[in-house]
């Protein structure tokens, strides 16, 4: 088989080296009874997942030189269901924090939610209407550290109150961050229920209020990091809308997008954009 022309979303050798040990260990634990290792290299499966996340294409529209839909979805679903996507994400997150000379787990997180429209094929039972933002779809909640790295993800119907999203995020933070988080910053959409829930978990929840004198968008100290992360995620077109039938698939998309971002950060590489003169010239 001839080597295909690479896509901008493909993992470099250095990026694959960060992920490969986890994938190889998973493959060793899931050997076929017949001994068949599958028709596709695991690196190509990951490349297909990242390609779809970055471009937003449908499963059936994956390029012919990438693994076909059935194989790619099989691994995407398997890694979603057993948490392998989160294991890879957490491994890279710890490495990015160590590279920034910080402890593996943070002491402060920032919480926020984002309502996104759902595609036509998404089940109505998992969606709702956010009346305040006039969005019919799902609500994506994030908890990030001061580097903008994702600590927790929750995906709910858009009509779910921020209190419900906030308490679920705090539960994940308490579980995922090894009990190191002592403070969480939230906006005024999160009410006293979240503050009380944080107190029960040993997390001081502080509401950061907007300056009533300010007009337009004014970045708030430390809270702007979660807005930056949402902006980064939207560069992955699969996350511009919610196309997933299952909310946990939507959460998995966030983990894969951030894995892609962190792999580039750790290897000092970037995906070419239309602003890159070399890309335009090509």
CATH classification of the domain holding 216: 3.30.420
How wide is the angle at C-alpha 232 spanned by C-alphas 250 and 75, nearest 5°?
35
Going by pLDDT thresholds of 50, 70 and 90, the confidence category of residue 282 is very low
- Give mean pLDDT, residues 10-36: 89
Residue 282 covered by a domain: no
Going by pLDDT thresholds of 50, 70 and 90, the confidence category of residue 223 is confident
- Give mean pLDDT, residues 124-129: 96
Q: Look at residue 267 in the predicted model and tell me its pLDDT.
A: 95
Residue 129 covered by a domain: yes
Residue 199 covered by a domain: yes
Q: Look at residue 1 in the predicted model and tell me its pLDDT.
A: 45
Task: Indicate the SS3 state at residue 230.
Answer: helix
What mean pLDDT is reported for the chain? 90
Residue 71 covered by a domain: no
**Token match 């039972």: residue?**
125
Going by pLDDT thresholds of 50, 70 and 90, the confidence category of residue 10 is very high
Q: Kindly state the DSSP code that residue 122 receives in the 8-state scheme.
A: S
Task: Indicate the SS3 state at residue 203.
Answer: coil
Q: Look at residue 209 in the predicted model and tell me its pLDDT.
A: 77
> What's this model's pTM, rounded to 2 decimal places?
0.91
Residue 122 covered by a domain: yes
- Give mean pLDDT, residues 267-282: 60
- Count structural domains, the chain: 1
Is 69 buried (19+), middle (13-18) or exposed (0-12) by CB count in 10 A? middle
Confirm if 264 and 15 have CB atoms less than 8 A apart: yes
Q: Look at residue 271 in the predicted model and tell me its pLDDT.
A: 62
Single out the residue of 39, 5, 45, 10 nearest to residue 26, CA to CA. 45
**Token match 């030189």: residue?**
65
Task: Indicate the SS3 state at residue 117.
Answer: strand
Residue 265 covered by a domain: no
**Which residue segment(s) compose the domain that 126 sits in?**
105-243
Q: Look at residue 77 in the predicted model and tell me its pLDDT.
A: 98
Q: Please give the structure tokens belonging to residue 276.
A: 């890159």
Residue 224 covered by a domain: yes
Residue 21 covered by a domain: no
Whether pLDDT at 2 is above 80:
no
Whether pLDDT at 279 is above 50:
no
97-113: pLDDT as tens digits: 999 999 999 999 999 99
Residue 172 bridge partners (DSSP): none
């Amino acid at each position: 088989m001839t080597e295909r022309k690479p896509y901008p979303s493909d993992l470099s050798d250095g990026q694959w080296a960060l992920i490969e040990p986890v994938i190889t260990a998973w493959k060793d634990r899931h050997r076929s009874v017949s001994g068949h290792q599958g028709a596709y290299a695991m690196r190509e499966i990951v490349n297909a997942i990242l390609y779809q996340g970055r471009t937003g294409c449908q499963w059936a529209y994956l390029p012919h030189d990438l693994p076909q839909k059935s194989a790619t979805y099989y691994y995407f679903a398997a890694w979603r269901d057993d948490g392998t996507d989160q294991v890879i994400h957490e491994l890279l997150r710890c490495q990015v924090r160590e590279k920034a000379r910080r402890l593996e787990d943070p002491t402060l997180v920032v919480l926020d939610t984002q309502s996104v429209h759902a595609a036509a094929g998404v089940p109505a039972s998992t969606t709702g209407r956010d009346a305040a933002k006039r969005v019919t779809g799902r609500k994506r909640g994030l908890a990030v550290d001061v580097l903008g790295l994702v600590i927790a993800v929750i995906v709910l119907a858009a009509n779910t109150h921020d209190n419900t999203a906030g308490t679920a995020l705090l539960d994940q933070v308490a579980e995922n961050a090894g009990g190191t988080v002592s403070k969480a910053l939230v906006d005024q959409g999160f009410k006293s229920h979240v503050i009380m829930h944080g107190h029960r978990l040993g997390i001081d929840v502080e509401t950061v209020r907007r300056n009533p004198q300010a007009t337009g968008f004014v970045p708030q100290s430390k809270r702007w990091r979660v807005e930056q992360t949402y902006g980064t995620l939207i560069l992955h077109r699969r996350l511009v809308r919610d196309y997933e039938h299952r909310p946990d698939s939507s959460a998995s998309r966030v983990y894969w997008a951030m894995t892609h971002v962190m792999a580039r950060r750790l290897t000092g590489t970037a995906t070419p954009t239309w602003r890159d003169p070399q890309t335009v010239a090509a």
